Amino acid sequence: MKALVKTAHGPGLELAEVPDPRPGPGEVLLRVLRTGICGTDLHIESWDDWAAGVVKAPLVLGHEFVGEVVEVGAAVSKVAVGDLVSGEGHLVCGACRNCLAGRRHLCANTRGLGVHTDGAFAEYAVLPEANAWVHRHEVDPDVAAIFDPFGNAVHTALSFPVLGEDVLITGAGPIGLMAAAVARHAGARHVVITDVSEHRLELARKIGVSVALDVSATPVAAVTGELGMTEGFDIGMEMSGQPSALREMIANMTHGGRIAMLGLPAREIAVDFGAVVLKMLTIKGIYGREMFETWYAMSVLLQAGLDISPVITHRFPHTDYAEAFATARGGKCGKVILDWTS
């Protein structure tokens, strides 16, 4: 089969012939339909310091995907041939304290599909049955392909109640945009999203945020009066990983405000913890999705009318992967989808 492979240590990828995978006990074989390009894939493609320290070549990339089940291994009982499946890309050990307590998203031994083991940028992929989310209702395959980052957005956006609250989101990348859509759908009063990319801020306006703010030109504090806010933001969602974004968020939170932090900083962040203490703020780190409560919430939100399709801005056949990766890296886009059926 064809697969997008990191064939050797160093920059670049290759669309190569690799052996067809076979499902083992407890595994399902998928014919991959669509995949989404993630920032992690860009790191691996460019072979930055993080990738060089984590990834062992050769490796098939890809952890955002949807496919049709074409074969099941022994002992598979809940997933059937013909099912449409999105994959949870975090492979947990099942034996640690958190796994045994049902808190699989907190497994300290998590391995990443397409990072530590072969992923789904291929015509076929194998997935543990326990990691298969079967779509029981109609869903656009492009949207189903991005359930992984959509789950990050839902996990972040619903970590704290947002009904009637004023929400600040820093970072209008695809996950930030989806989090904004979720917060609006869940009843937030005002949703303000910040970035320095006018392209992404325009996508945010299409989603229906209250204010899409270019923080390179206007500080966050300037919009609170415009929105009739007197005490700061109730809920913060930090999606950018930028030190200045977290500091500005803390400065603009109300007393007792709550911050969900998904953005992963590339370096240490100096934070005014005096403000955190005196304002009695809560800061919660978010990683991945709650398995599988977040997945259930995603499906329910879509059935209830949430539309995240505007976040998907580019689609390419998998053979045009180089152009697709260049588009994703260029930043003037939302989610970029590869079609493995064309």
Q: Pick out the residues of the known binding site for Zn(2+).
A: 38, 63-64, 93, 96, 99, 107
Residues 87 and 64: their CA atoms lie apart, in Å, by: 7
Catalytic residue selected from 43, 116, 185, 199 = 43
Measure CA of the first residue to CA of the last residue in the chain; give whole Å: 14
Catalytic residue selected from 7, 9, 35, 40 = 40
Name the binding residues for NAD(+): 175, 195, 200, 262-264, 286-287
Residues 166 and 168: their CA atoms lie apart, in Å, by: 7
Cβ-based neighbours of 18, under 8 Å, separated by 6 or more:
1, 2, 3, 5, 60, 122
Considering only CA atoms, which of 192, 144, 90 is closest in space to residue 335?
144
> C-alpha angle with apex 321: 320 to 322, nearest 5 degrees?
95
Q: What is the DSSP letter of 5?
A: E
Distance from the Cα of residue 251 to its chain's centroid:
26
**294 catalytic per annotation:** no
**156 catalytic per annotation:** no
Extract the runs of DSSP E, i.e. beta strands, from 199-252. Answer: 211-214, 233-238
Are the C-beta atoms of residues 217 and 195 closer than 8 Å to each other?
no
Q: Where in the sequence numbering do the catalytic residues fall?
A: 40, 43
